[in-house]
Structure 1
Amino acid sequence: MTNEVFMAPMIALIIWTLIVWVVLFVRRVPAMKAARMDPELAKSPTGEWKNALPLKAQAPAHNYNHLMEQPTIFYAFMVWAVLTGNMSTPIAYLAWAYVGLRIVHSLVQISTGPVMTRFTLFILSTLCLIGMIVLALLT
C-alpha cells in the first residue's frame, strides 16, 4: 500500500473539517448580523453573546471544535503509521470507517439531530480509532 493511498482518509477528514469551517461562517455571521450583535462581544469563547444565537448557528462551531479534538490522535497515528511503515489494509479500512463515522457525526450535530445518535457515532468512531492502534501494536 502506498503512502498516498494509506493517508487518503486523513486528507478526507481534513477536507471535511474545512467544509464544516465554511458552514460555521455561513451560519454564524448572518445570525450575528440578524441579532445586531457587536462583533466585539464575541471576543470571549464563553459569553452571553452565544445566547443570542440560535442553535442552528452554534452547532457548526461546536462540531468544528470537536473536529479539532479527538481527530488529532487520528492524524498523529496515521503519520506515525506511515513513518514506521506500519500500514496495513485492516488499519486503512478502519481509518475510512473512522472518517465516515466522523462525517456522519458532523452531519447529525450540524443538523441539531438527536444527542444519543451523535453519541453512538462518537463511540463507534472511537472504537475504530482504538482498533487501529491495537492492530498497529500487534503487528
Structure 2
Amino acid sequence: MHSDILRPMVVLIAWTLVMLGGALATRLPAMKAAGVDLRTLVGTKGSDADRSLPPQAQWKVHNYNHLMEQPTLFYAVCTVLALSGSGDGPNAWIAWAYVGLRIVHSLIQATSNRVRDRFVVFVLSSLTLVALTLHAALAVF
C-alpha cells in the first residue's frame, strides 16, 4: 500500500523533466544561433549563457534551476508525511496544490516571465510548503 502524497511528488518530478526538455529544446538552437560551439566550451557555467543568449532562451533554463531548489524541500517533507502515515487526505490535497502552483509558476516563467505574477504564485506555493512542514512536524513530534 502507498501514500496518496506520492502521486503529486511523481507529477512534479515528471514536470521537472518536461521543463528540462523544453530548456534544451530552446537553449541549444539559441546557442547555435549565437555561434556557441559546444565542442570548444571548457569550464563554463550556466550563468555565462545569460550574457550571450537572449533572455527568452534562458527562461526555461532558469525555471528548471528553480525546480531544483525549493521543491527539494517539498520532496523531503512529503517523504516524511508518507513514512509517518500522514500522506493522505488533506496533506495529499495540499501537495497537489503545491504541484499545481509550481506548474503555473513554470508556465509564467517560461512564457511571459512577469516577475510580479511569478512572485504571487511563489508565495502561495511557499505557504502550502509551510503547511505541509507544520503537518509533518505534528506527525513526527
TM value normalised by structure 2: 0.89
**Amino acid corresponding to residue 60 of structure 1 in structure 2:** K
The answer for unaligned runs of 5 or more in structure 1 is: none
Question: CA offsets per residue over residues 101-121 of structure 1, 9 Å max, x none?
Answer: 000000000003310000000
The answer to whether the 8 A contact 2:101-2:122 is kept is yes
Q: Deviation of residue 82 (structure 1)?
A: 1.4
2:12 is matched with which residue?
13
Q: Identity across aligned pairs (percent)?
A: 45
Q: Deviation of residue 136 (structure 1)?
A: 3.0
Structure with higher helix content: 1
Q: Deviation of residue 135 (structure 1)?
A: 2.4
1:135 is matched with which residue?
135
**Kindly tell me: are residues 106 and 100 of structure 1, through their superposed partners in 2, closer, same or farther at Cα, counting changes over 3 Å?**
same
**Amino acid corresponding to residue 47 of structure 2 in structure 1:** T
* Structure 1 residue 108 corresponds to structure 2 residue 108: yes
Separation in 1 of the partners of 2:106 and 2:36? Answer: 27
1:68 is matched with which residue?
68
**Amino acid corresponding to residue 45 of structure 1 in structure 2:** G
Q: Deviation of residue 56 (structure 1)?
A: 1.3
**Amino acid corresponding to residue 124 of structure 2 in structure 1:** L
Question: CA offsets per residue over residues 36-92 of structure 1, 9 Å max, x none?
Answer: 113206722332x43221111100110000000000000011111111212231111
The answer to whether the 8 A contact 1:59-1:112 is kept is no
Separation in 2 of the partners of 1:27 and 1:18? Answer: 14
* Structure 1 residue 81 corresponds to structure 2 residue 75: no
**Kindly tell me: are residues 123 and 3 of structure 1, through their superposed partners in 2, closer, same or farther at Cα, counting changes over 3 Å?**
same
TM value normalised by structure 1: 0.90
Task: State how 1:4-43 maps to structure 2 within 5 Å.
Answer: 4-39=3-38, 40=41, 43=44
How many residue pairs match? The answer is 137
2:2 is matched with which residue?
3
The answer to whether the 8 A contact 1:55-1:112 is kept is no
**Amino acid corresponding to residue 75 of structure 1 in structure 2:** Y
1:46 is matched with which residue?
47
